[in-house]
Structure 1
C-alpha cells in the first residue's frame, strides 16, 4: 500500500473552553504517521480533525474571515495601520492588485492545503474495515462539507475556474488544468454532505446537515442561481437548527455573536472554533486590532480600520430608515478629525444613526465594549488609516482578564482570542432569503424579513450606553407597508442590499456581495466609495476604478510558474481573461 506521511499541527485545548465545542479539534499527536496506522476509526477521526484544523491554521491573507478580500476590498474598511507595514496591502486597498501579491498566494495555498487533507482522509477511509457505519457516514459528510468550503473560498476569491483535485487523484504533486468550472463539483460535495450529515452532532464545532444546506445555498447565491438557492434557504430559515440542537434564530443581543462566553448560540450555523492556546486564537486576524500596546484592546497592529463610507451608511432619516438615495455621503458626518481638543477625532452624537454603527465600528467618544472610550494611541497613523476602529471580533477586557485572550497569543507578539468566527450565520442566511424573495417579486415577504432583522437591531440591549444614557442618537424603525420597497422591485432590492451592508459590516462579506451582484454594479459602487473616501484619506485620490470584468482576483503568478506546462506545452494554470 502506498505510504503517506501526514504532518499533524494540532494544539491542545485550555480547560476554560472545555464546554465550547472545540475539544475535538485538539486530540491528535504531533509527528508523522503511516497510512496503515490510520486505517481504523481512531485514524479517520484524527484525519478529520486535521481537516477541520485547516480552518484555524491560516495567515492574514488565507484567513476565512476574509477581512482583506471581503471587507477591505469591498469598502467596509481600509488597510489602516501605516503605509509601510504590510505594504503589499496598499495595492489591494487601492484596486491595483498584482498577480505577485503575497496575500493571494496565501489564500490559494490554504485552499489546496485543506483540500489535500480532506483527500488523504477519504483515501484512507476507503481501506477501513472495522469502523462503525454511522460514524463513518458522519465523517464522510464532514469531509465533503469541508472540501466544499475550502474550494468555495477559492471560488469567491479566484472565480470558478480552478484545478479540481479530489481523492481520486493520488499524485503527491498533482498537475491539473484550470479549464473547468468547479461549481458543479463543489455542489456535488455538498449533496453528499447533506445526505450523510446528521441533524445534530456530539460537539457544536462539527458541521451538521443544516450547515451543509446553508453552505449549498450560499454557493448557489454566489453562482447567481437564486432560483435553486431559494427553497434551500427557506428550509434552513424555517426548520434549521444548530449542531447542538438549537433552532436557528436571531439573538436578541447582537453582541452575543462576538462573545466567547456566548458562542455556538442559535444564530451560529457553522463557526470556526478558536481557543486561547498560542497560535490558535484567530491568527488570521492578529494584526487587525486597535494599536496602542498594553492597556489597549489587542494593542497591535492598527490594521482594518472602518471607512467613512461604512460609518456614514448608518445615518438614518427622520423616519429611522436608511438613506437609500446615498445622501448619507452628505455632511455632517458621523465622526471627523478634530482640529483641537484632547482627542484626534470627535463623533457627532446629534446625527440620528442606526445603533449597529457602534457594534461594528469603534468611534471616539463612544464606549468601546468594556474598554472605555478609545484613546488616541489606538490609531496607529490617522493620516493613513483614518479615525475609526474595528470592533466586532475584538475581545473584551473581561475575556482578557479571564485568560480567554492575550496580546501575544499569536506568535508571541500579536493578539488573539478564543472567540469563534461565525463562517455561516443565520443573519446572513435570512438576508439571502430576502434577496431571493425580492428577486421573485415577493416584495412584502422580502421586506418582512428585512424588518425582522431591523427589529432585532432596535432592541435596547443593542444600544451602547454612556453614563446610563444612549451614547449616540440611536434611531431605527421598520419599513412601513407604505414604503416604496413594498411595491417597487428596484427599491426593494436596494433596501435588501443596504441591509446586508449594515448587518454584515466588517464580517468579510461586502466585496463578495458586490461581485455577485454584477461587475458593472460592483465597479460603480467601488468608484463611489473611492471618490467619497478620497475626501478623508489622500491615498485614495489616485486610486483607479476596478474593471467591471474583474469580479475575481488574479491567480498567483508563482503558482502559474510552479505548475508549468503539460506535455504539449500548454500551461496548467491560465490567468483569468480580465487579468491577462
Structure 2
C-alpha cells in the first residue's frame, strides 16, 4: 500500500512542475519495487488511495505544504493578500513574493502565484486519473471517488477561472509533450465545464452526507451538501440567482450544518470537524507524522516573538501563544478595523475575538523588551487563525495542524441572503443575515440590502481568503482597491524606560509610546491597475514552454 501511495506522490510531483513542461518519456523509466500505473488502478483500495492523493494535493494547494523557496505559498495566503484585509508585515525585503501581492505589483515571475497555479493543475491531473481509470459502475466505493474527483476538478477550475480568467481547461490526462501545450479556454466554456462537473457529481447519488450536525467524521470528505453549496456559489457568480437559492436551500434544509457558538475555535484544532465547516482541508494533530500533513508554517504569521515580543507568565490565560518565534506577517488593515468599529463598536464580539490593538495585546500579558518598528502594520494584530501550541508542534515549526475551512456555513447563509436580495425574497434574506448577526451579538437588520450583505461578508469572513473574489464579482475591486499598496505603513513601539517586565503585574502595567507612519511606494504598478489587476499573470516559465498560452493583459508576454 505504501509503495502505491509513494508512486502516486512521485507521479503527481513530476507533473506539478507545470501542465506543459514535463517530458512524459521520463515517466516511463521502470522503478524497482514500485507498482506500475498499468497494474495499480484496479481495486477499490487502489481507488481510495488515488483519491487520498487528490485530497493531499488540494490541501497543499489551498492551505500549504513545504515547497522550497516558495514554502509559504498557498491559495489561502495569496487570496488574503490580494484583498484589503491585510498588510503584509515582516520586512519589505523579506518574502518578496508576498510583498508583491500585497502591494498590487505582481509580476509573472512571482513564485507564490506560480506554486498555486501548478498545484491546482497537479490536483486536476490526479482527478483526471481517477475519472479515466475507474468505472463508477464497478462498486459504490469507485462511484463515490469518481464523484469526489469531479467535485475537486470543478473546484480547482473555479479557482483558476476566477483568479486567472482564461486558464486552460484540462478535462483528461495529458499524455504527450504536445498535449501539454493546452491553449487558453474561453470563460463561457470554463464555467459550463465547472457547472457540469458539479451537476454530475450531485446527480450521481454517490456523494455521502454527514449523519447529523455533530458528525465530525462525515465532514472529512466532500459531501453532497458541499457540492450543492459549491454549485450554488457558481450560480451566484454567474448571476443565476434563483438556481443559487435552490442549491443553498438544500444545504440549509439538510440541517447538517450550523454556527458554532464560540468563534474562537474556528481555525484551531478545537474546531476540527466543526459543524460550521461545509468543506475543509483536513489535518490531524499527530506529532509523529507532522510534516506529511503539510500546513502553512505558523512562524510566518505568528506575532513577533523572538523579535522583541515576550509572552508573560499570564499570557496563556488569554491565548495559548506559541512564543518560540514569529515573523509577524498578515496584520489586519486599518480599513478592516474601522469597518468593525463602525458596525459593532470597539467592544464588538467578532472584532475583539479576531483583532487586537497594541493596548489589547499588552492586556494579554505580552511585553516588548526594546523599541521596535513593525513594517506592514497599522497598529493592529490578528488573533484569527493565529497558530497556538494546540495547533502546531513548536519544536520544529512543521506546519499548522488545524483543519482549514474552505467554506463555512456562515458563508452559505450570506450567499443565500445575497441570492435572496437579488430575487426579491426579502424575508429570507433578512432571516439568513439575522442568524449570522445573532451569533455576532448584533441586532437584527430589516430590509437587508446588497450593501448590507457585502458588509456582513466582509466582517464575518474577514481574513479568510474570500474578499478579493467577492470584490471582483461585485464589480467593486477597482474602487475598493484603488490605492492598495501605494502607502506602506510602519508601526513604531517604544517601551518606557521604567517598565518592569519581570513579573506578570509589571507587564500588565507597562507603558509604551506608539507612532504610525507611511511611506510612498516607489513602484508604478502599486495600486489598482485597470486591465491588469483583474487577473493574475500566467507564470512566465509556463509561457516559455507552452507557446499556446496567451498572457493576461498588463504582464507582457505573448
Partner SS state of residue 356, structure 1: helix
1:172-211 equivalences under 5 Å are 174-181=180-187, 182-196=190-204, 197-200=207-210, 203-211=218-226
2:249 matches 1:234: yes
Does residue 478 in structure 1 map to residue 444 in structure 2? yes
1:8–1:32: 8 Å Cα contact kept in structure 2?
A: no
Q: Secondary structure at the match of 1:424?
A: strand
Q: Is the 8 A contact 1:450 1:496 kept in 2?
A: yes
Tell me if 1:498 matches 2:504.
no
The 2-side partners of 1:446 and 1:63 are apart by: 38
1:455 aligns with 2:428: no
After TM superposition, the structure 1 = structure 2 runs for residues 112-151 of structure 1, keeping only pairs within 5 Å, are 112-126=121-135, 131=138, 133-151=139-157
- Do the aligned partners of 1:563 and 1:573 also contact (CA within 8 Å) in 2? yes
Deviation of the 1:155 alpha carbon: 1.9
The residue aligned with 1:345 is: none
For residue 376 of structure 2, give the secondary structure of its aligned residue in structure 1.
helix
- Tell me which residue corresponds to 1:344: none
For residues 149-199 of structure 1, give each alpha carbon's deviation from its aligned partner in whole angstroms, at most 9, with x where no partner exists: 22222123212x111122364436622111333111111111121123122
CA gap of 1:443–1:33, structure 2 versus 1, over 3 A, is same
Contact conserved, 1:250 with 1:267, CA < 8 A, in 2? yes
Structure 2 stretches of 5 or more lacking a match? 12-31, 212-216, 312-320, 491-515
* Contact 2:235 2:244 (C-alpha < 8 Å) held by counterparts: yes
Structure 1 equivalent of residue 423 of structure 2: 440
Displacement after TM superposition at 1:210 (Å): 0.6
Taking the aligned partners of 2:351 and 2:193, their CA distance within structure 1 comes to 39
User: Do residues 310 (structure 1) and 313 (structure 2) align?
Assistant: no
Q: Could you tell me how far 1:432 is from its partner in structure 2?
A: 0.7
Cα distance in structure 1, aligned partners of 2:9 and 2:370: 37
- Which among 194, 212, 231 is matched to residue 216 of structure 1? 231
* Alpha-carbon contact 2:219-2:278 (below 8 Å) kept: no
CA drift at 1:63: 7.8
Question: Map of 1:293-304 to 2, 5 A cutoff?
Answer: 293=306, 296-297=321-322, 299-304=325-330
User: SS at 2:88's partner residue?
Assistant: strand
What corresponds to 2:393 in structure 1?
Answer: 406
Q: CA RMSD in A?
A: 3.3
From 362, 382, 388, give the equivalent of 1:390. 382
User: What's the offset of the Cα at 1:363?
Assistant: 3.0
Query: Aligned partners of 1:511 and 1:62: how far apart in 2?
Result: 22
Q: 2: distance between equivalents of 1:4 and 1:267?
A: 31
CA deviation map 1:351-409 (0-9, x unaligned): 644221122223334369xx934444899841433332232222334x1xxxx52235x
3-state secondary structure, aligned to 1:54: helix
Q: Distance in 2 between matches of 1:144 and 1:7?
A: 18
Superposed CA offset, 1:55-76 (max 9, x none): 3334587989644432221110
Cα distance in 1 for partners of 2:360, 2:398 equals: 23
Whole-angstrom CA distance in 2 between matches of 1:364 and 1:70: 26
2:535 to 538, 552, 563: 552
Give the C-alpha shift of residue 137 in structure 1. Answer: 1.1
Greater CA deviation, 272-281 or 41-50?
272-281
**Could you tell me whether the CA contact under 8 Å between 2:161 and 2:167 is conserved in 1?**
yes
Q: Cα deviation per residue 1:294-339 (whole Å; 9 max; x = unaligned)?
A: 96536322111111111111113xxxx46xxxxxxxxxxxxxxxxx
- Write the distance in 2 (CA, Å) between the matches of 1:52 and 1:236: 22
Q: Label 1:237 to 1:272 Cα distance change in 2 as closer, same or farther (>3 A).
A: same
Deviation digits for residues 104-127 of structure 1 (CA, Å, limit 9, x no counterpart): 11111111111111122222214x
Shift of residue 424, structure 1, vs aligned partner: 1.3
1:42 aligns with 2:45: yes
Give me the whole-angstrom Cα distance separating, in 1, the residues matched to 2:486 and 2:82: 15
Instruction: State the match for 1:348 in structure 2.
Output: none
Q: Give the Cα–Cα distance (whole angstroms) in 1 for the partners of residues 394 and 294 of structure 2.
A: 11
TM-score for both structures, normalised by structure 2: 0.76
Counterparts of 1:364 and 1:4, CA distance in 2 = 48
Q: 2:518 aligns with which of 538, 549, 555?
A: 538
CA contact 2:147–2:202 (8 Å) conserved in 1: yes
- Counterpart of 1:466? none
1:497 to 1:301, Cα distance in 2 relative to 1, 3 A:
same
**Counterpart in 2 of 1:91?**
100
Does the residue aligned with 1:554 lie in a helix, a strand or coil?
coil
Query: What is the TM-score with the length of structure 1 in the denominator?
Result: 0.73
In the alignment, structure 1 segments of 5+ residues that lack a partner are 11-29, 242-246, 323-350, 459-475, 487-491, 565-571
Check whether the contact 2:151–2:201 (CA below 8 A) recurs between aligned residues.
yes
Does the alignment pair 1:289 with 2:313?
no
Distance 1:73 1:186 in 2: 24
1:305 match: secondary structure: strand
SS in 1 for 2:407: strand
Report the equivalent of 2:477.
522
